[in-house]
């Protein structure tokens, strides 16, 4: 009887698990069906527009830089309707190739009518804009690639979307993201893997990877992403775009969701920042100018009322630029360091003063400050978001690690410690993440973050720097590899910890010579992590190579100024 009861209990558990998985599968299928129906409706709307206006010069419109497009929309030589449907048609083509869209926004047609009745044309009048999945838009999901988020529609637009609309922009699409946003690949079990438009074996980066792929392939002229560890800058690097992570509080994050929580209601010592992504630096500057307006400051009083300083951005005064080609934590591929040195030389030749700069204690920043912020509870809050969900393959190593009991993690660290010092450093995120075991420890952690920011700013001030030029991770990784190399993003993570504005601009491409030099790459100790990085970036000839530009907090205009200078010099070259 006992055996029969045990067998019956086991059978019941198996059936219960099967039913749970089946329910998850149904929810995911329904989400994909809804997306596909939206795509068909938009394709039909484009076809109807084509029949009504058969003479549209699609290529001419798509080739216009944002400043020129905005100017022609303002003067009336191009109509918002023509531009919108031209970009929707291109986005349909791009998502078919790269799977970059999560959903079209059908209300874009209502916004098209709305802007006709605005008293004044905003700075982004008639400009189609794409937004990242988790930026709230009324009547739409904010999924973060999670099944548990598939049942709650946003009740209102995020502040940022409201301001975009006030400035005449037309949000028309929401783009794909990695599951939980905690990955710099772009894959989730619901909507699948997004591909790099330049090479479908490669990732577009993440977590704003859908934006990166869509803009790089010409399906959007301006996008809004978010960045908490490099999520704007890495897709910009992988896809050859310009992307800006502002000081976190410079733009409102209200009604933007991270791990199913409104970012506004969940402050963190390493905050999430929203920022623009586009094909050139002037587009980023125009977007920032449009967003930093009275509407933003009134809707979200926590945003400092600091309008965009055009004088700083347009200045031609020589800059004092700090630079470094490695942070000493994770050595980057040869092409990224080449790009840095070429850019440094070009800036020097243009009359700017270049000063060697060394960021302090990066191992401490990565292992103690950044990872401890996100895994202060040992990863339990992060694990909770996967309850009743299918974990994406790219996240399974991290999820499985977080499930190991604390004692098991300590034993794992002890086993690995004798193997190799550098191995341990790179495994810090896998085997020895510190947790905050008390409120006192948490307060102390916050104090350590502030103390490090003070130390970094002091070093910056001692050298009297205006800006810093430094590397960014790249070129584009082969899909699946970002999940294996979380600590490779130290180059971007640093400026989230510091909460400095940082932007990425593409300056060159991977050459055959770079690829040959990569074969000799050994990193610091030719360990499995260095070898994994080598495999991740191999086969990248022709792909974009970028650099990173940084300024002090609240000096986005200065950051953009350096980005513009770098862009201009790289185009001349």
Note the pLDDT tens digit of each residue in 481-538.
Answer: 999 998 899 999 999 999 999 999 999 999 999 999 999 998 877 788 889 999 999 9
Residue 493 lies in a domain: yes
Residue 383 lies in a domain: no
The answer to whether 205 touches 179, Cβ cutoff 8 Å, is no
Average pLDDT score over residue span 159-163? 98
CATH number at residue 123: 3.90.1300.10
The answer to whether 177 touches 133, Cβ cutoff 8 Å, is yes
Domain, as residue range, for 328: 25-360+463-504+526-571
24 appears as a binding residue in the annotation: no
Q: What is the pLDDT of residue 238?
A: 98
- Cα dihedral 41, 47, 51, 54, rounded to 10, equals 140
228 appears as a binding residue in the annotation: yes
Number of domain units in the chain? 1
The answer to whether 109 touches 115, Cβ cutoff 8 Å, is no
- Calculate ∠ Cα 304-181-406, nearest 5°: 110
> Measured between alpha carbons, how far is 289 from 273 in angstroms, rounded to an integer?
17
Q: What is the pLDDT of residue 465?
A: 98
427 appears as a binding residue in the annotation: no
Whether the link from the prior residue into 475 is cis, omega within 30° of 0, is yes
Q: Is 438 a catalytic residue?
A: no
Q: What secondary structure letter does DSSP report for 301?
A: T
Lowest mean pLDDT among 28-37, 79-88, 264-273, 491-500: 264-273
pTM, two decimals, is 0.94
In the set 207, 394, 490, 491, the catalytic residue is 207
Residue 63 lies in a domain: yes
Residue 150 lies in a domain: yes
Residue 332 lies in a domain: yes
In the set 132, 202, 372, 484, the catalytic residue is 132
Residue 251 lies in a domain: yes
pLDDT at 367 over 90: no
Record the tokens describing residue 214, joined without a space.
């869509």
The mean of the pLDDT values for the chain is 91
pLDDT at 53 over 70: yes
Q: Which residue has the tokens 């690690």?
A: 401
Lowest mean pLDDT among 114-123, 304-313, 507-516: 114-123
- Phi then psi dihedrals of residue 142, to 5 deg: -125, 90
Residue 412 lies in a domain: no
503 appears as a binding residue in the annotation: no
Q: Is 132 a catalytic residue?
A: yes
Q: What is the pLDDT of residue 481?
A: 95
170: closest CA among 236, 216, 220, 99? Answer: 220
Q: Is 207 a catalytic residue?
A: yes
In the set 180, 208, 231, 252, the catalytic residue is 231
């Amino acid at each position: 009887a006992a055996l029969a009861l045990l067998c019956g209990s086991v059978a019941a558990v198996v059936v219960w698990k099967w039913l749970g998985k089946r329910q998850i599968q149904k929810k995911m299928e329904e989400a994909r069906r809804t997306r596909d129906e939206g795509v068909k409706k938009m394709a039909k709307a484009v076809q109807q527009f084509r029949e009504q206006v058969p003479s549209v010069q699609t290529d001419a419109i798509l080739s216009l830089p944002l400043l020129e497009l905005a100017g022609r929309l303002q003067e009336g030589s191009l109509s918002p309707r023509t531009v919108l449907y031209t970009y929707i048609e291109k986005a349909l083509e791009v998502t078919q190739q790269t799977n970059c869209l999560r959903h079209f926004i059908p209300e874009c047609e209502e916004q098209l009518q709305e802007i006709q009745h605005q008293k004044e044309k905003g700075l982004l009048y008639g400009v189609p804009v794409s937004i990242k999945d988790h930026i709230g838009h009324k009547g739409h999901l904010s999924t973060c690639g999670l099944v548990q988020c598939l049942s709650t529609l946003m009740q209102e637009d995020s502040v940022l979307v409201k301001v975009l609309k006030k400035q005449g922009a037309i949000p028309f699409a929401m783009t794909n993201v990695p599951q939980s946003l905690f990955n710099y690949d772009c894959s989730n079990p619901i909507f699948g893997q997004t591909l790099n438009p330049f090479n479908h074996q490669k990732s577009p980066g993440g977590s704003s990877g859908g934006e990166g792929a869509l803009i790089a392939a010409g399906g959007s002229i301006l996008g809004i992403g978010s960045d908490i560890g490099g999520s704007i800058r890495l897709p910009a690097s992988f896809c050859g775009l310009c992307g800006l992570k502002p000081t976190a509080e410079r733009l409102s994050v209200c009604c933007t969701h991270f791990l199913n929580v409104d970012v506004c209601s969940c402050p963190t010592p390493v905050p999430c920042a929203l920022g623009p992504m586009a094909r050139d630096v002037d587009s980023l500057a125009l977007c920032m100018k449009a967003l930093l307006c009275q509407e933003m400051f009134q809707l979200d009083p926590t945003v400092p009322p600091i309008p965009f300083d055009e004088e700083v951005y347009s200045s031609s005064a020589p800059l004092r630029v700090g630079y470094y080609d490695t942070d000493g934590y994770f050595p980057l591929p040869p092409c990224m360091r080449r790009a840095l040195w070429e850019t440094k030389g070009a800036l020097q030749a243009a009359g700017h003063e270049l000063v060697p700069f060394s960021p302090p204690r990066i191992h401490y920043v990565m292992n103690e400050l950044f990872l401890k912020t996100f895994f202060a509870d040992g990863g339990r809050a992060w694990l909770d978001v996967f309850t009743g969900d299918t974990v994406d393959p790219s996240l399974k190593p991290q999820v499985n690690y977080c499930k190991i009991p604390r004692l098991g993690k300590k034993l794992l660290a002890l086993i690995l410690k004798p193997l190799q010092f550098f191995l341990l450093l790179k495994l810090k995120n896998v085997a020895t993440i510190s947790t905050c075991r008390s409120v006192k420890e948490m307060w102390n952690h916050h104090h350590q973050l502030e103390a490090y920011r003070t130390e970094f700013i002091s070093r910056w001030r001692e050298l009297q720097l205006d800006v810093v030029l430094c590397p960014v991770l790249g070129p584009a990784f082969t899909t699946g590899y970002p999940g294996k190399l979380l600590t490779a993003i130290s180059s971007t993570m640093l400026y989230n910890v510091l909460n400095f504005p940082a932007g990425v601009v593409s300056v060159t491409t991977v050459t055959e010579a770079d690829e040959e030099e990569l074969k000799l790459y050994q990193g610091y100790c030719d360990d499995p992590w260095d070898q994994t990085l080598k495999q991740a970036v191999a086969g990248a000839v022709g792909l974009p190579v970028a650099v990173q530009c940084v300024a002090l907090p609240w000096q986005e205009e200065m950051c953009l100024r350096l980005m513009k200078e770098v862009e201009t010099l790289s185009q001349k070259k």
